[in-house]
Amino acid sequence: MNINIGIADDHQLFLKSLSLLISSFSGFNIVVEAMNGKEMLDKLANLPSLPDVLLLDVNMPVMDGAKTAAAVFKLYPGVKMAALSMKDNDATIIEMLKAGCCAYLLKDIHPTELEKSLRDIHTTGQYHNDAANVNYRRLILQSEQKQTLTDREQEFLSLACSDLTYKAIAVKMNVTERTVDGYREILFNKLNVQSRTGMVLEALRRQLVSL
Amino acid sequence: MNINIGIADDHQLFLKSLSLLISSFSGFNIVVEAMNGKEMLDKLANLPSLPDVLLLDVNMPVMDGAKTAAAVFKLYPGVKMAALSMKDNDATIIEMLKAGCCAYLLKDIHPTELEKSLRDIHTTGQYHNDAANVNYRRLILQSEQKQTLTDREQEFLSLACSDLTYKAIAVKMNVTERTVDGYREILFNKLNVQSRTGMVLEALRRQLVSL
DNA sequence: CCTGATACCGGGGTTTTCCCCGGTAAAGCC
DNA sequence: GGCTTTACCGGGGAAAACCCCGGTATCAGG
């Protein structure tokens, strides 16, 4: 019995290459390819039979990996999914896992390891690789206590992502420097950093602000 | 007569997949694969015959695309090269072309287009795709007057994009704090900013560093 | 030989950032 | 009424970042 695979990745060259690679593994078929999440959902809806495992790129235009995974999980809970990404970023890993992915694979994984992981996911429904071998419980836990920012905190964060001093930010927000210092402290805690530079970088990674 | 291809890309999965894909084109052989520029140079030195065309990823650890292209061009001027990248960034395109690449290909190119481009490069020594169809003259011109960073400055900039203090950066770079302070001053001038936060943001915008 | 570019360093200063202590007031919720 | 959350504030002090003055050594090229 063959294992049917679906792949979504916005880089056509990678998509086609990977497709060919997986086809070359014995017992694997590629049944669907898509350049983004939306395309994948459309194609799944018109497929005679669902794939066993979906490989989803994390970063895609139109509909990204997390949104796609969540949608697929809701519509077709039987379909197993693996996230595929370049970077092993904590926040992204938990996001994908919470969206229903069984594994988080890095794009520099070796082909034989990929084959093994696909088999593991198909048969046991799970797979553990290095990047994923972080303490999941800790990650999920820290994501539970969801760090939502208040309006003022968000406003401060946006202003902090600039060449402005805190004093200038205080003027812009119509508060005293001490108050801005308070927001700084809150954000340092929420983002788990200890410098303004770190805060800016973390805010960009979590996409709380954009360049 | 077959066309012999060499590929360098740090993402193993992509490297192997692409290798398989190109092998499947009729008349193409993959003669060398490498995970970074240094590895590629080492392997080229020990090869019985040189490849006809090299595909070089722009972003690689140890030795990046531009450095590799320049080195290959110097050692083996007969070898044609194509840059391979995710983003079509003006600065990167000119850098690669000036380093001796015949073409700049995006990773979302279609496989048949890749095949065509490889043939074109092999026979005519050039190829024009969309991303490269920008006004070269304008690009080159603007690069002439462009601030280029030295290796140490680039190194400092990368380290500055973190939670590290300048003192810690000095230790990592094996220099005194005063020296790091000098790099900071140079970068502030080149990027036209007046705070570390501004420097980090500007570096990200100019894609001198990545998140 | 001289110039320019690069890498490196000493010592001084001011401003900003970071990190504590403490506090008030208002709005919403059971 | 308590309880929580949010917004706001004063003051002080240590560390980091920022901004000057000056310097040496090397290496490549006209």
Residues A13, A113, single domain; the answer is yes
Residues B9, B110, single domain; the answer is yes
Q: Is residue B121 part of a domain?
A: yes
Query: Which tokens is A140 given?
Result: 């999920």
Please compute the mean of the pLDDT values over residues B52-67 and round it to a whole number.
86
Residues A69, A111, single domain; the answer is yes
Residues A119, A162, single domain; the answer is no
| The pLDDT of residue A143 is above 80 | no
- CA separation for the pair B22, B54 (Å, rounded): 12
Walk across the sheet containing A28-34 and list its strands. A28-34, A3-8, A53-57, A80-85, A103-106
| The pLDDT of residue A140 is above 90 | no
Q: Is residue B142 part of a domain?
A: no
| The pLDDT of residue B55 is above 60 | yes
Q: Is residue A31 part of a domain?
A: yes
In this complex, which of B86, B161, B197 lies closest to A163 when CB atoms are compared?
B197
Residues A195, A125, single domain; the answer is no
Instruction: Report the CATH number that the domain containing residue B188 is assigned in CATH.
Output: 1.10.10.10
pLDDT (0 to 100) of residue A163 = 92
Residues A92, A155, single domain; the answer is no
Residues of chain B neighbouring A165 (CB-CB closer than 8 A): 195
Instruction: Report the CATH number that the domain containing residue B79 is assigned in CATH.
Output: 3.40.50.2300
- The A 135-194 residues near strand C by Cβ under 7 Å are 165-167, 181-182, 184-185, 188, 194
Residues B162, B201, single domain; the answer is yes
pLDDT tens, residue by residue, B68-90: 888 888 888 888 898 888 876 66
Q: Is residue B210 part of a domain?
A: no
Q: Residue A14: which pLDDT band, with cuts at 50, 70 and 90? A: very high
Write out the residue range of the structural domain in which residue B200 sits: 149-205
Q: Would you call B197 and A13 a contact, using CB atoms and an 8 Å cutoff? A: no
Residues B112, B18, single domain; the answer is yes
Show which of A135, A169, A194 is a domain's final residue. Answer: A135
Among A51-60, A154-163, B64-73, where is mean pLDDT lowest? B64-73
**Distance from CA of residue B162 to its chain's centroid?**
23
Give the protein-side footprint of strand D (Cβ within 7 Å).
Answer: A 150-153, 173-176, 178-179, 181-182, 195, 197; B 165-167, 178, 181-182, 184-185, 188, 194-197
| The pLDDT of residue A89 is above 80 | no
Q: Is residue B128 part of a domain?
A: yes
Q: Is residue B198 part of a domain?
A: yes
- What's the domain count of chain B? 2
- CA separation for the pair A193, A129 (Å, rounded): 27
pLDDT (0 to 100) of residue B210 = 82
Please compute the mean of the pLDDT values over residues A90-118 and round it to a whole number.
83
Q: Residue B141: which pLDDT band, with cuts at 50, 70 and 90? A: very low
- CA separation (Å) from B34 to B30, B43, B159? 11, 8, 27
Please, which residues have CB within 8 angstroms of residue B48's CB and are 6 or more apart in sequence? Answer: none
Residues in chain B: 211
How large a percentage of chain B has pLDDT more than 90?
A: 41
Using DSSP bridges, classify how beta strands B28-34 and B80-85 pair: parallel, antiparallel or unpaired. Answer: unpaired
Using DSSP bridges, classify how beta strands A28-34 and A53-57 pair: parallel, antiparallel or unpaired. Answer: unpaired
Residues A114, A88, single domain; the answer is yes
